[in-house]
């Protein structure tokens, strides 16, 4: 990626000598985003949609502008289709709780899913007497589209699938899944937590009905995310919470909710965080999502090639870097993955995640029946040299400990 150094300078924590490869858990936050968040507290700290004074007006303008920026980033038709949430998990729960389920409705998901896009449907099944079907994978960790074709039928109300697996990095064939689902009259929810931060997202081209994602994985602050809801479905999803800020009128005996997104954003929202997410979107657009994806693909290729050469190291997921995002899970011999992650930190300042990655069904059935895996994950500020350091240090760990 050209001008890589320019962007690395925006992340001062990298000056401490760390190699941050835990981006699938949470990305680093650049200075312009931090400054935008501080700008709110320093210059126009006030509640939104609540006052006519200039501080409230300025805060409201910035807050609304951030909604518009996020909507534009995913090519939504309008900001009314974008609801501010705390994170991906809350967005998925909003859909699960808000739809008017009927006994016998079917939900189809996959074994690749993060718990936030899995147990929520198990609970919906129990609460509403639904049918839940789980599509399995191909042996190489790619999606088995025939599984979806078999399981999606005329009773299917919703298909819920991750755009990118948070464990294997597998990229889902979303357009194919959407076409199958829509042909049966089912809606599609995409868990975009690992998708939106790493590749250009166009909800109109994907033709999905719901898309949930988190700000903290895309250079934004914690505590803020977004849920896209196709405009035609807004009236079919009841808010998770109601109260202040969500109503158009109230009488002693009834109330009338406001239009989206206000009807879904009860109480005082995460104002500073939403404004900062808008700045994060600007930042990513400046870098270029196509460039980010291309850069990560190259880093993934380097990691896969390097780790494959190390005896006693097992790497999981598709072998072709074009079929996956920059997420690389691996194990070193019979070592506990937590010990591997700790050794990488202590010996080389390399930060990776370890464990089951909130995907126990996948781990138990497909990946490995042990304490999970170590997981390296890249982003726009990582370099080939850092990935090579990961490979060489893993080789040293394999030689000395495994």
Q: What is the pLDDT of residue 106?
A: 99
Give the residue-averaged pLDDT of 353-377.
Answer: 89
Q: CA 117 to CA 88: how far, in whole Å?
A: 9
pLDDT > 50? residue 1: no
Which range is least confidently modeled, 229-233, 244-248, 323-327?
244-248
Using pLDDT thresholds of 50, 70 and 90, give the confidence band for residue 3: low
Output the CATH code of domain 32-286.
Answer: 3.40.640.10
Q: Which fold has domain 4-22+288-400?
A: 3.90.1150
pLDDT > 90? residue 365: no
If one counts every other C-beta atom within 10 angstroms of the C-beta of residue 204, the result is 11
Write the pLDDT tens digit of every residue in 62-95. 999 999 999 999 999 999 999 999 999 999 999 9
Instruction: Encode burial over 323-336: b for 16+ CB neighbours within 10 A, e otherwise.
Output: bbbbbbbbbbeebb
pTM of the model: 0.96
Q: CA 398 to CA 259: how far, in whole Å?
A: 57
Whether residue 261 has a cis bond before it, omega within 30° of 0: yes
Q: Are 372 and 330 in contact (CB under 8 A)?
A: no
Centroid of chain to Cα 129 = 29
Strand partners, 355: 373
pLDDT > 50? residue 56: yes
Q: CA 130 to CA 44: how far, in whole Å?
A: 48
Structure tokens given for 274: 């939403």
Catalytic residue flag (residue 358): yes
Using pLDDT thresholds of 50, 70 and 90, give the confidence band for residue 371: confident
CA atoms within 13 A on the CB side of 333: 14
Write the pLDDT tens digit of every residue in 38-55. 999 999 999 998 789 999
CA distance from start to end of the chain: 35
Write the pLDDT tens digit of every residue in 376-388. 999 999 999 999 9
Write the pLDDT tens digit of every residue in 289-321. 999 999 999 999 999 999 999 999 999 999 999
Q: CA 158 to CA 208: how far, in whole Å?
A: 11
Q: What is the pLDDT of residue 220?
A: 99
Write the pLDDT tens digit of every residue in 100-123. 999 999 999 999 999 999 999 999
Give the residue-averaged pLDDT of 358-378.
Answer: 88
pLDDT > 60? residue 372: yes
Write the pLDDT tens digit of every residue in 188-226. 999 999 999 999 999 999 999 999 999 999 999 999 999
Write the pLDDT tens digit of every residue in 261-297. 888 888 999 999 999 999 999 999 999 999 999 999 9
Q: CA 260 to CA 97: how far, in whole Å?
A: 17
Of 147 and 371, more confident:
147
Q: CA 176 to CA 173: how far, in whole Å?
A: 6
Q: CA 307 to CA 111: how far, in whole Å?
A: 25
Q: Average per-residue pLDDT in the chain?
A: 95
Q: What is the pLDDT of residue 262?
A: 86
Domain extents for the chain? 4-22+288-400, 32-286
């Amino acid at each position: 990626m050209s001008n890589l150094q320019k962007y690395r300078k925006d992340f001062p924590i990298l000056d401490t000598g760390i190699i941050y490869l835990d981006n699938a858990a949470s990305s680093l936050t650049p200075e312009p985003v931090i400054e935008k968040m501080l700008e709110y507290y320093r210059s126009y700290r006030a509640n939104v949609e609540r006052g006519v004074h200039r501080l409230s007006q300025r805060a409201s303008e910035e807050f609304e502008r951030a909604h518009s920026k996020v909507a534009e980033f995913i090519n939504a038709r309008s900001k009314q289709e974008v609801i501010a949430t705390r994170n991906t998990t809350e967005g998925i729960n909003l859909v699960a709780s808000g739809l008017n389920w009927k006994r016998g409705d079917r939900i189809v998901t996959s074994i690749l899913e993060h718990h936030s896009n899995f147990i929520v449907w198990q609970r919906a099944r129990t609460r509403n007497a639904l049918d839940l079907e789980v599509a399995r994978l191909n042996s190489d960790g790619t999606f088995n589209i025939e599984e979806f074709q078999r399981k999606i039928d005329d009773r299917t109300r919703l298909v819920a699938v991750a755009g990118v697996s948070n464990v294997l990095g597998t990229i889902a064939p979303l357009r194919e899944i959407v076409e199958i689902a829509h042909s049966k009259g089912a809606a599609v929810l995409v868990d975009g937590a690992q998708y939106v931060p790493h590749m250009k997202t166009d909800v109109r081209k994907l033709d999905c009905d719901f898309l949930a994602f988190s700000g903290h994985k895309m250079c934004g602050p914690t505590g803020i995310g977004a849920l896209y809801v196709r405009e035609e479905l807004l009236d079919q999803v009841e808010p998770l919470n109601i109260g202040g800020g969500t109503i158009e009128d109230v009488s002693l005996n009834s109330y009338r909710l406001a239009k989206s997104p206000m009807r879904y954003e009860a109480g005082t929202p995460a104002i500073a965080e939403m404004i900062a997410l808008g700045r994060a979107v600007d930042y990513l657009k400046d870098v270029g999502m196509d460039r980010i994806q291309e850069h990560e693909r190259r880093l993934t290729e380097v990691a896969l090639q390097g780790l494959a050469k190390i005896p006693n190291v097992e790497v999981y997921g598709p072998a072709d870097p074009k079929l996956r995002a920059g997420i690389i899970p691996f194990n070193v011999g019979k070592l506990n993955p937590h010990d591997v992650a700790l050794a990488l930190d202590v010996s080389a300042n390399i930060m990776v995640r370890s464990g089951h990655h909130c995907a126990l069904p996948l781990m138990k059935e497909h990946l490995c029946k042990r304490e999970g895996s170590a997981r390296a994950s890249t982003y726009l500020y990582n370099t080939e040299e850092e990935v090579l350091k990961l490979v060489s240090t893993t080789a040293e760990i394999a030689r000395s400990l495994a």
